[in-house]
Each structure stands twice: as C-alpha cells, then as structure tokens.
Amino acid sequence: MADILCFSRNNATTVEQPDEETMVSSCRLQDTLTDLLVVIRVRTPHLEITDIQGEIRRSLEPETPHIHETLRKVIGVRVGPGIKKIVTGLMGKSAIEKKLVFMIGECCNGIILSFTKQVLLGAPEDKAKEREFFATMVKNSPRLYNSCAALSPESPLMDGIEPP
C-alpha cells in the first residue's frame, strides 16, 4: 500500500482590549508537526510592545531556541509600518524563529486591523459603492491588502482591485 501524507494547518489570531491603555494579541499556529503560541501586550496610544510570551508545544526542529529570550528582543518595538522588517532583523534565522517572526507579524496585523473595524462597519450597503469604498481604503493604506481574509486577493471584496 502506498504511503499517504496527511498534513493540515490552522492559524488563529485574536485581539482583546482589557483596559483603555492595553491591547493583547495572540496567535496560535497548529499543524501536523508544530504547535506554537505567541501573545503580545501592546500599550496604546503609541502601540509599543510591552510584553511578549510564547510557547512551543510541539516542534520537530532539531534545535529550539530559548524562546523567551528570543521573543523578548521585540519588547519596546512599536506596531506600525516596517514592523515585520524590524522583527526579522531582531530574531534569529532558524526555521522555528522564522515561524515566530510570522506569528509576531500576525499579532501586529491583528492589532492594526482592530483599529480598522469601525471603518469597515461604515462600508456602504450598495455593492458597487462597497467595492469603491474598499478599493479606496486599500489604496490609502496598502498594508491592509492581504492582511486578512476579507481583504485577501481571493475575497469578493477585492475582485477587480489591483494590488498596491
């Protein structure tokens, strides 16, 4: 009988605001080989990362870094333009650290998108005007493009909209 590979991956990001000055974003990556969790705490209004926690629950990587020391390098960094490049420069180059960079980016995207929620709720009901609304929004803030399922290239909302 032939060997059949089975692989699945889930990625979930959540954002909470426990008080006026704090936002907490968590990202969990689970697949057949890996189970990782990253939680960042951000102080508003400057969106400075004040704390970060992580956990490697499962990994097939031969060497796993001291995750808490590695993650603490991003404390003090502000969520905003260039965050992925900054985090990439601070972290190591191992496969697990690259996954952590991705997860920190997802947490930061979650924080940014949480500020976009009220704008999204103001979208017009008319489909043609809705498309124009989202096209303008992505044009004004290109980082939003492909930052979530609603603004991904496959989304009906982005149909016909040129990527930035």
Q: What is the pTM of this model?
A: 0.78
Decide if 54 is inside a domain: yes
Give 4's pLDDT tier (boundaries 50, 70, 90).
low
Pair of tokens at residue 38: 């990253």
Q: Are residues 73 and 30 in the same domain?
A: yes
**Any bridge partners for residue 136, and if so which?**
none
Residue 1 clears pLDDT 60, i.e. is over it: no
One domain for residues 100 and 46: yes
Same domain assignment for residues 54 and 90: yes
Distance in angstroms (rounded) separating the CA atoms of residues 108 and 111: 5
**Residue 73 placed within a domain:** yes
Alpha-carbon gap, residue 96 to 75, rounded angstroms = 19
**pLDDT (tens digit per residue) in 16-51:** 999 999 999 999 999 888 899 999 999 998 999 999
Do residues 97 and 20 share a domain? yes
Number of domains in the chain: 2
Domain, as residue range, for 132:
122-158
Cα–Cα distance for residue pair 34/160, rounded to 1 Å: 36
